[in-house]
Amino acid sequence: QWIYLDGQFVTKEDAKVSVFDHGFLYGDGIFEGIRIYNGNIFKCKAHLDRLYDSAKSIMLDIPLTYQEMEEALVETLRRNDLRDGYIRLVVSRGAGNLGLDPNRCPKASVVIIVEQLAIYSEEAYKTGLKTVSVSTRRNIPDALNPKIKSLNYLNNILVKIQSNLAGAGEAIMLNAQGYVTEGSGDNIFIVKNGVITTPPCYLGALDGITRQAIIEICHKKGYSIKEEPFTLHDVYVADEVFLTGTAAEVIAVREVDGRIIGEGHAGPITLNLLEEFRSIVDKDGLK
């Protein structure tokens, strides 16, 4: 396994960053999780747009141009001879002194890790996930804008801990006003009487690339799709609930806080969207 580390390709054992890196000390940095399908970097442009926008927002100077970043991704895949898998792209503020001031870090650090990926079994896509809602609240825009995919994942980790303790596969996060926002690492959709709804990002959801791909598919296929706030009650009484994310793709939720959703397995709209999604994944990307 070859890892891209600041312009060099190093082995897993040699892929080390400084303890003075502000990504390590303060979570000061950003990242992307990207899928490779059949040698194709799925939605590469959308991921790099989100990365460079996140960087601009936190005044992080990425030391590679957009094109150099694309080339680094492609070269990392080539070196690893990987045609299907997952890319983790991390840009941290880089090594500096102790102290929050990013001016102490002269150069941001870029890491690209590629790996095989298998998170859910094919069976899980049919049975759906057991989930719980959790007490940890999503960051809201006046703190850290949810559109920034930053290295600050501590509340997502607290969410994961809570869902593990409840024996659930994923969790549903609310914002401080009690509106549903997203999962620990996925966006959420509900279906009621044929209408599909997902929370608007301003409530506290990452603008997921898979979320956008599903919205596009809904428009193309003539499904009714809305971005509107909803509460846990709407989730409990939905006909179908599903989560979307780069790793998870489109996965049904069969249970939320002990309430069985619909028939208690993946519903027809969820399965149809999964099928449509899988039919485009190796056509829309960077070769």
Which residue in the set 21, 28, 186, 276 belongs to the binding site for ligand PLP (CB under 6 A)? Answer: 186
Strands (DSSP E) along the chain, which ranges?
A: 2-5, 8-11, 29-37, 40-42, 85-92, 109-115, 129-137, 170-174, 180-182, 187-192, 195-198, 224-227, 240-245, 249-256, 259-260, 285-286
- Please classify residue 233 by burial: count the beta carbons closer than 10 Å to its beta carbon, then call 0-12 exposed, 13-18 middle and 19+ buried: exposed
Which is nearer to ligand PLP, 54 or 109 (by Cβ)?
54
Please list every residue from 152 through 181 that binds ligand PLP, using CB under 6 A: 156
Q: Which residues, at least 6 apart from 90, have a Cβ–Cβ distance to it below 8 Å?
A: 23, 29, 30, 31, 109, 110, 111, 112, 113, 151
Which residue in the set 96, 246, 256, 274 belongs to the binding site for ligand PLP (CB under 6 A)? Answer: 246
Which residue in the set 204, 208, 262, 267 belongs to the binding site for ligand PLP (CB under 6 A)? Answer: 208
Which residue in the set 182, 241, 269, 286 belongs to the binding site for ligand PLP (CB under 6 A)? Answer: 182
* 245 near ligand PLP, judged by CB under 6 A: yes
- Taking the C-alpha atoms of residue 41 and residue 35, their distance in angstroms, rounded to an integer, is 6
The question of whether 149 is a catalytic residue gets the answer yes
* 256 near ligand PLP, judged by CB under 6 A: no
Smallest separation, CB 208 to ligand PLP (Å):
3
Which is nearer to ligand PLP, 25 or 51 (by Cβ)?
51
The stretch near ligand PLP (CB under 6 A) out of 65-73, 209-217, 218-226, 274-282 is 209-217
Binding mask 23-42 for ligand PLP (x = CB under 6 A): ----------x---------
* 54 near ligand PLP, judged by CB under 6 A: no
Q: Which SS3 state, helix, strand or coil, does residue 194 take?
A: coil
Q: Which helix (H) or strand (E) holds 84?
A: none
Q: For residue 115, how many other CB atoms are within 10 A of its CB?
A: 12
Smallest separation, CB 71 to ligand PLP (Å):
22
Catalytically annotated residue among 16, 107, 147, 149: 149
Give the closest residue to 241 by CA, choosing from 187, 185, 174, 190: 190
Q: Which residues in this chain contact ligand PLP in the complex, by CB under 6 A?
A: 33, 156, 182, 185-187, 206, 208-211, 244-246
- Point out the residues that are catalytic: 149
